Structure 1
Amino acid sequence: MPTISSPEKPHRIPIDQLFQELKVDPKTGLSADEAQNRYDEWGPNALQEVKRESALTILLRQFVGVIVYILAAAAGISFFLGETVEGFAIIAVLLINALTGFILEWNARQSMDALRKMDTTPARVLRDGRVREISSEEVTLGDILVVEAGDLVAADGNLFEVSQLQADESALTGESLPVDKNTELPPDESPLGDQHNRLFKGTPVTAGTGRAIVTGIGQQTELGKIATMVEEAKRSATPLEAKLDGLAKVLIWVTVGLAALFLIVGLVRKEEPLRLIETALALAIAAIPEGMSVVATIALAYGMLRLAEKKVIVKRLSAVETLGGTNVIFTDKTGTLTQNRIEVNTIQLPNQRAEIQSDAQAKKLEIVDGDQAITESEIYQKLIQVGVLCNNADYDIVNGKAKEVGDPVEVSLLKFAIAAGHDPDQIHQDFPRKAERAFSSDTRIMGTLHQHQTGFLVAVKGAAEEVLDRCQSLSEKDRKAHYDISEKMAVEGLRTLAFAYHETDTQPGDDFADQDLTYVGLIGFLDPPRTEVTPALTACREAGIKVIMVTGDHPATALTIASKVKLIEPGEEMVLTGKDLKPLDELKAADKEALLKCRVFARVSPAQKLDMIELYQQKGDIVGMTGDGVNDAPALKKSDIGIAMGLRGTQVAAETADMVLKDDSFTSIVSAIAQGRVIFENIRKFVLFLLSCNLSEIFVVTFAGFLNVGNPLLPLQILFINIVTDVFPALALGVGRENSSLMHQPPRDPKTPIMDGRDWRLVVFYALVMTASVLGAYWLGTTELGLTEKEGNNLVFYALSFAQLMHVFNLRSGRSFFVNEITRNRYIWYALLLCLFIMALTYYVPFLVQVLSIQPMTTTEIELILAAGFAPVLLVQIVKGIMRLGR
């Protein structure tokens, strides 16, 4: 039995109790022998390897599916009947489709590897009373971690010594600012972002020093739990894949029905069984659009290339279409809706207030709300001066690039001063520092002493309550009023600091920061929203897409950003936190309804993000998820379409997602959605084209059989039409340009199949028209021109091929027949010319002539073929015109 174990809810266990449970002396740490024993018992501090599918397994899975089985059976029957060329042709189609699927699945599945890379850093631990540096993998339960600024935390642990310790947990929790650490026990149900007495594996220490007892290693850490969720999160088939599969099943049932009917009628007529089997084989080949998956892949790849030009990298081709069908987007706040950097947002002087936007590089500051005259007041200038002097950060612009060193809040104060027209270096020269009182969790203030000419200046910043208590000249009423203002700013999601100063002719003592101070005002800091986000969210709203913020940050901050970027409208100021969320299997109908109404969620854990995504997926929505942190990785994988930020995002998020935004711009998501909708519309069009062409082949074979006029199409001729003359026009339809009107329409119902009832009616209508035209030509050729069965077969092959090529012009959506998206698509014309050239080759190349059983033709036959090709287009346009007049 294990002598120790990783404790549950370690943030709630008193530190002395932890030392007892984990059997370690905080003064000496583990002994080398005990550490080795625990290493042997618990294993390395590394994320577990999960066995993955081999390349062979993935390849073999490509040969699973109803269409594959039908084609394989058709190939087998062809070999049985001695039609080896047909058999090998069908096998070639199977191999092409399998290779395509294999490549799509064999993509960047590196998320776990990226997580493991965070394990390779060294760690310092206390063992046998001495601090030793070891590999992070050797850290074990009960070890005493020794950390300082610049370290990457090697394992989860509870702090028992801290000195101005801060850690950047944005990738894990979504918290924008470095987190101040302490040793106090938080409330029982505190989320990770509020567990300030803990350090978490993989997070960098940004300031201070500390010691912690290790309570979790490897898979037991919060990072490990996320890694497990990434592995366990399952992706279902994409909507496009599911719809194409559904379409295939419909075609198969149609084929089975027609083939069975054809066989029954033939047997009743006592026709030759071998001929019946050959005809049934032709029906099977005719029913299956062999080129559909290839055309879909190329159409998606074309959309992927166009998105790459817009700085959107697509890792799964089907993700392009999936995003086009997305009607719900979960977005992280930090780094996605905001810039993931802290800035001065609000200036609150004793009698003036203003909200600002500043640009240090451009040395520009703008008052966006509040008192426009605030910059003219002397106390405003004093606020800037105090903010620069009581500051240990450094900010400089070298060759047009900003270099930041120090606490992000202090850096933002320097940038604010520069934007306001001040030179921090000059201020420091005018007021050289003589002493400093460092910030501590006990006093919650920082103070600096400066000499100026014949006098001295004390600059102080810190928590509002502490600074105001040191401003003795203020009345109790005024102190309370200013403190209430700071609380209100905090409720609005701002992190606040108060500023004060003291001027004296004589040098003060060590308590200079506690002397009677003059209150200057408050500054509210905020991770500023991205300027381009608001119009992008407006575009989403117009397109009927619901955008939901899910963040690990503070609720007030989340709500403030949501309001600023117009994610929520007035009256929607509702925010739910992780404490409000029950596990998905415990939710009642009323709970689900409340969750579906809320647009802002804060202090949410990775597991809760998964639950919310699943809730919407159960509802039938197609869910997109954006994110940049390690904590977003499971949700990125679980969602229908995961979108990672490429600039600020972690490697884990980028490698887990389906798409990566190179510019971290939410606007790029809107572009991707528009492209996705275009792709789906193009796919719908080429599916409509392929199915109407394939159904015409089925009708030609079936009706000819019922009429007992022979088999006008051979199986290999049908296969040639399907994978050559049909595919290129379909491909041209699949790479059509944008349709801006699609983004002003609501998203299509995700439950709606690619082909709705109206589309199926069109397919049948188009197929019947082509069938009537081709069989009419066949009847004229055999009865009026006296063509033999082989010559008639030759006539049908070319007539149907040409009719299907001309059929592409029937798929226009505009009113004009000559000026529309089909005639403006240059790829359509390229496809037609190529197919006509290939048809000419079949007549003149001896090998093709022999394989396809081509017969010499007369001028009259060629004229009949041309008439059979143009007649369906003319008839369809007449019918469409009559229907428009009837509306």
Structure 2
Amino acid sequence: MDTTPQSPFFHTISAEEVASSLEVDLRDGLSDRQVAERTATYGANELREKRRTTLAEKFIAQFKDAMILILLAAAVIAGAIGEISDTVVILTIVILNATIGLVQEYRAERAVDALKRMTEPEARTRRGGHLQTIPSVQLVPGDVVSIEAGNVVTADLRLFEVADCEIDEAALTGESFTVTKQEEPLDDEELPIGDQLNMAFKGTNVTRGRALGVVVATGYQTELGKIADLLQTSGTVLTPLQHRLERFGAKLAVAILIIAAVVFFAGLLRGEEVMLMLLTAISLAVAAIPEALPAVVTISLAMGAQKMGKHNALMRRLPTVESLGSVTYICSDKTGTLTSNRMRVERIDADGTSVNSLSEIDIVSEPWQWLGRLLALSTDVSLDEHDEPLGDPTEVALYLGALDGGIRKHDIEAGFPRIAELAFDASRRAMTTLHSIDDEVAAFTKGAPEAVIPCCAKQLLSSGDEAIDRQALLQQAEEMATEGYRVLALAMRRFPHLPDCITHDCIETELVLLGLVGLIDPPRPEVPEAITACKTAGIKPVMITGDHPATASAIARRLDIASDIEVMTGTDIAALSEEEFADRVKEISVYARVSPEQKIAIVKALQKHGEFVAMTGDGVNAAPALKRATIGIGMGKKGTDVAREASDMVLLDDNFATIVHAVSEGRRIFDNIRKFIKYTMTSNAGEVWVLFLAPFIGLPLPLLPVQILWINLVTDGLPGLALSAEHKERGIMSRPPRRPEETIFSHGMWQHVVWVGLLIAALSLGAQAWAFHGGSDNWQTIVFTVLTFSQLMHVLAIRSEHESLFRIGLFSNPALIGAILLTVSLQMMIVYVPFFNGIFHTSPLSAHDLLLCMLLPLVVFVAVEMEKFAVRQGWIYS
């Protein structure tokens, strides 16, 4: 279906050649027969859904994890040897963990749905010589379509008749300004879409005037459709935590199989029964797998997401919560993200003076009075019910510029009524309004300096009309443009009465220049501080925009994005090979005039260097890169549905500074998840050492699978979950991001897991040997309880990576204290309640035995506090 019409460069050929290429009469449009044929060839003008994964397929995919497969195997073996209760418990845990993974699978699907909602449902087209309104999905290449202010463009059009037409393409290209359209062909085949002035693109908004165009692309062949296709093919990447857990899971699975096999065959060689050794191997497998890890990580992330939501950062994917802590680059869209997405007058050069606003001067001299009147009266701005200005963004900016000087259009227009106007002419790049003023007529002209200044004979100063230096003024305008301003020249001419000839040639001549005005979409006031904070946290900001290079450079300098700013354009990127671009990508901090595909290329090139990349943006053009980035950040207020649906995180206040808080919170959450992993893996290591070493020192199997599951789920799970409430470590935003290659077990964690696990095992096996050889029938319950209480002492000691518990305060995390007390109560219940004795194979302990179980674990707490003291002194793990 979606084949492309003959020429992909319709902007380079005349309207007649386009019509010939598409075999259409521009006056009459297509015939019914042609419409039917093209519908069969090109299909409907819609963004069709591609096949979606079914719920069953998503559920099955959750069982591909190596640790889950080992648990399933353990459940099968346990059932085969008659341990039905163990089988039921293990399968229950596996199914619960698999269910958790189903909630994050619909982002790309919703993004495409949002793209479909963007398009106008109807289009006005000329067919068979008649203008008719049809559903936009019925448009085909060759249709002649009429667009006007207020319309959404419904297909990609080559314009052939333009009347003062301006289109807002910000959502598609990132361009701050509306684009003035023209009919004439353009020479360069490789022009970015933002510079194709004779084209109108699907999904953009007509803000002014009207135009006729011929459809050259529909559906997925439009620029918008290509983005929709990119959203479905650009793919997603694993977050840092997912990377680390995936690597950890694979290595742990191998280790589990090796240890279980060694124990199984060593037992057989000693003459142990096969069934007993199978039970031992199952126990080892269950002991080594951190069953509570997926649930605790998910709940910790959910709690973090809820907290971030209260600070205007909405998390659409839970792993995003922690991945913020690993981000090394933030590639930010300029318009609406770093800037306010609202044009403002920020420089006025008049009467030999340069000011930032009319509020800075006393408007008493004649030049400033006339300039203020021109700003107010030459616009077509209306006010809504809240007195907010509505209209073309440039004209709204001029209106507000006059308002800064206390000049309200609606207060003065009765004394200066508009009696005629010359609409904006794309070839002259200027417009004029004529106003009656007492007994004369004033013509106010505004437009591009290169169009207006040559028409000026003089300039108005406080001292009166003076000769004009056109070359100096044009150079001044050029300098303003290089600083990122959109520059307009303002001029006027006074007539004794309304001229008979009201044309551009008659009116826009012998003008008197009033001044130059510089407009810009300024940075958000809070962004510079946020960028400084990002740099302090080791995160490099990069600006990516579809805007003009001079504008991008000016904004980047204001924000201090980099000390040495080099702007790379989309054309520059296209001229480099993939390898050449990858070699340079880390040197560039500002990109301009880039396409959606190039945004993805930038993200991929950085990721090839091992960087974790965040991409912020609010437009349709940012959506594929948002999806491809490690973390995509959309804007909640001014962002498009497409960008929000493609993102991992949405800034509800559109405030770049919110990212800084989110990064800090993400680092805290990862720290706490890492503490849980340290806690649970040390606990599991203790269990594995106990099971592994017991046969070699002549002791029977110390723990049963159901007891191990209780420890892993309850003793690990409840305090582990409470660890997520720990406060931030000091200096959390002064340290660099975690490097991608950094493992979960870095900074001394694996050493801690090994030696503290051995310590817990030694205490447990010592208690077992004392009870077993002393003839106690409760020896297994003693081992079970010593292990449980040792882990509770351990969790108290690791609340901070470096600081002592007594420095951070025993009760500074009430949730953890509550979890410990609850775990102790539940342990007492399964030890002393007869019903649970049968399920967990326990028996009541004497007061003497219970005291032993409570005192031995204190050794773990003291040892870990001593370890942290050594870390603070720089003796270990440095």
1:243 and 2:244 are equivalent in the alignment = yes
Residue from 533, 547, 569 that aligns with 2:527: 533
* TM-aligned CA distance change 1:695 to 1:376, over 3 Å: farther
| Contact preservation (8 Å) 2:802, 2:871 | no
Q: Which residue of 1 aligns with 2:759?
A: 769
Summarize deviations over 1:180-225 as a string: whole Å, max 9, x none.
Answer: 0001223221101000010101111111111111110111110111
8 Å CA contact 1:6, 1:215 repeated in 2: no
Mapping of 1:505-520 within 5 angstroms?
Answer: 505-511=496-502, 513-520=507-514
Specify the alignment match of 1:285 in structure 2.
286
Distance 1:68 1:813, change over 3 A: closer
| Partner secondary structure for residue 190 of structure 2 | coil
Match of 1:311 in 2: 312
Residue 827 (structure 1) aligned with residue 786 (structure 2)? no
Q: Which residue of 1 aligns with 2:537?
A: 543
1:485 Cα deviation after fit:
1.0
Structure-1 residue corresponding to 2:776:
787
- 1:338-737 alignment runs, 5 A limit: 338-356=339-357, 377-395=365-383, 398=385, 401-473=386-458, 478-511=469-502, 513-569=507-563, 572-582=564-574, 586-589=577-580, 591-737=581-727
CA 376–685 in structure 1, closer or farther in 2 if over 3 Å, else same: farther
Provide structure 2 residue ranges, at least 5 long, that are not aligned to the other structure.
Answer: 460-465
Give the match for residue 361 of structure 1. none
- Residue deviations 1:296-342 (CA, integer Å, cap 9, x gap): 00110011000100111111100111122111111100100111111
The whole-number CA distance in structure 2 between the counterparts of 1:600 and 1:884 is 41
- Distance, in Å, in 1 between the alignment partners of 2:675 and 2:599 is 36
Does the 8 A contact of 2:449 with 2:474 survive in 1? yes
Distance 1:3 1:602, change over 3 A: closer
Residue 19 of structure 1 and its aligned partner are, at CA, apart by 1.1
- Displacement of 1:757 in angstroms is 6.1
Whether the aligned pair in 2 keeps the contact of 1:4 and 1:21 (CA below 8 Å) is: no
SS at match of 1:625: strand
Q: Is the 8 A contact 1:167 1:205 kept in 2?
A: yes
The corresponding residue for 1:861 is 849
Q: Which residue is equivalent to 1:359?
A: none
SS at match of 1:742: coil
Aligned to 2:114: 114
Does the CA contact (< 8 Å) of 1:728 and 1:835 recur in 2? yes
Q: Which amino acid aligns with 2:264?
A: L
Structure 2 CA distance for partners of 1:671 and 1:355, relative to 1, 3 Å: same
Q: Identify the residue that residue 147 of structure 1 maps to in structure 2.
A: 147
Aligned counterpart in structure 1 of residue 736 of structure 2, from 702, 722, 746: 746
The alpha-carbon deviation at position 884 of structure 1 amounts to: 5.8
Distance 1:485 1:881 in 2: 65
Kept in 2: contact 1:126–1:143 (CA 8 A): yes
Q: Report the Cα distance in structure 2 between the residues aligned to 1:826 and 1:457, rounded to whole angstroms.
A: 75
Percent identical among aligned pairs is 38
CA RMSD of superposed structures (Å) = 2.1
With structure 2 as the length reference, what TM-score do the two structures score?
0.95
Q: How does 1:792-811 map to 2 (within 5 A)?
A: 792-811=779-798
The 5 A counterparts of 1:90-169 are 90-105=90-105, 109-169=109-169
The alpha-carbon distance between structure 1 residues 879 and 57, as it changes in their structure 2 partners (threshold 3 A), is closer
Q: How does 1:5-20 map to 2 (within 5 A)?
A: 5-20=5-20
Name the structure 2 match of 1:360.
Answer: none
Q: Give 1:544's aligned amino acid.
A: G
Tell me the number of residue pairs that the alignment of Structure 1 and Structure 2 aligns: 864
Q: CA 1:2–1:321 in 2, change beyond 3 Å: closer, same or farther? A: closer
CA positional deviation for 1:2: 12
Deviations 1:434-463 (A, max 9, x none): 222222123322222222223332222122
Provide TM-score, normalisation by structure 1.
0.94
Q: 1:402 to 1:318 in 2, by over 3 A?
A: farther
Contact 1:814–1:821 (8 Å) recurs in 2: no
How far did residue 355 of structure 1 move? 2.6
Shift of residue 3, structure 1, vs aligned partner? 11
Structure 1 partner of 2:220: 219
- The letter for the 1-side match of 2:600 is L
- State the AA in 1 paired with 2:122: P
Q: Tell me, in whole angstroms, the C-alpha distance in 1 between the residues paired with 2:434 and 2:13.
A: 41
The verdict on how the C-alpha distance between 1:881 and 1:238 changes in structure 2, with shifts beyond 3 A counting, is closer
- How far residue 836 of structure 1 moved from its aligned partner, in angstroms, is 1.1
Aligned-partner Cα distance in 2 for 1:433–1:233: 53
Counterpart code for 2:775 = G
Are residues 821 and 576 of structure 1, via their aligned partners in 2, closer, same or farther at CA, if it must alter by over 3 Å?
Answer: farther
- Whole-angstrom distance in 1 between the partners of 2:175 and 2:408: 31
Secondary structure of 1:28 counterpart: coil
Distance in 2, matches of 1:422 and 1:704, equals: 90
Partner of 2:176: 176
**Amino acid paired to 2:570:** G
Aligned residue in 1 for 2:262: 261
The residue type paired with residue 433 of structure 2 is: T
CA contact (8 A) 1:555 1:602 kept: yes
Partners of 2:41 and 2:350 lie apart in 1 by 60
Give 1:190's aligned residue.
191
| Alpha-carbon shift at residue 477 of structure 1 (Å) | 6.5
Aligned residue in 2 for 1:838: 826
Q: Deviations for 1:634-676, whole angstroms, at most 9, x for unmatched residues? A: 1111111111001001111111111111100001111111111
Paired letter, 1:578: G
Is the 1:353–1:374 contact (alpha carbons within 8 Å) kept by the matching residues of 2?
A: no
Mapped partners of 2:3, 2:70: distance in 1: 60
Whether 1:873 aligns to 2:861 is yes
- How far has the Cα of 1:4 moved from its partner? 8.7
Task: Note closer, same or farther for the CA distance 1:844–1:332 as it changes in structure 2 (3 Å cut).
Answer: same
| Pairwise CA distance, 1:350 | 4.5
Judging changes above 3 Å, is the alpha-carbon distance between structure 1 residues 501 and 291 closer, same or farther for their aligned structure 2 residues?
same
Deviation larger for 82-91 or 507-516: 507-516
State the 1:419 CA deviation: 1.9
5+ residue gaps, structure 1: 357-364, 368-372
Q: Which deviates more, 320-329 or 117-126?
A: 117-126
Does the aligned pair in 2 maintain the 1:153–1:202 contact within 8 Å? Answer: yes
The answer on whether the counterparts of 1:813 and 1:820 sit within 8 Å (CA) in structure 2 is no
CA distance in 1 between partners of 2:20 and 2:106 (Å): 49
Distance 1:306 1:717 in 2: 35
Secondary structure of residue in 2 paired with 1:439: strand
Structure 1 pair 535–759 and aligned structure 2 pair: CA distance change class (3 A): same
- Structure 1 residue ranges (4+ consecutive) displaced by more than 4 angstroms after TM superposition: 1-4, 373-377, 474-477, 878-887
8 A Cα contact 2:300 2:724, kept in partner: yes
Distance 1:183 1:865 in 2: 88
Q: CA deviation at 1:518?
A: 1.7
Separation in 1, partners of 2:51, 2:259? 46
Q: Aligned letter for 1:662?
A: L
State the alpha-carbon separation in 2 of the partners of residues 846 and 339 from structure 1.
68
Please give the secondary structure, in 2, of the residue aligned with 1:201.
Answer: coil
Offset at 1:261?
2.6
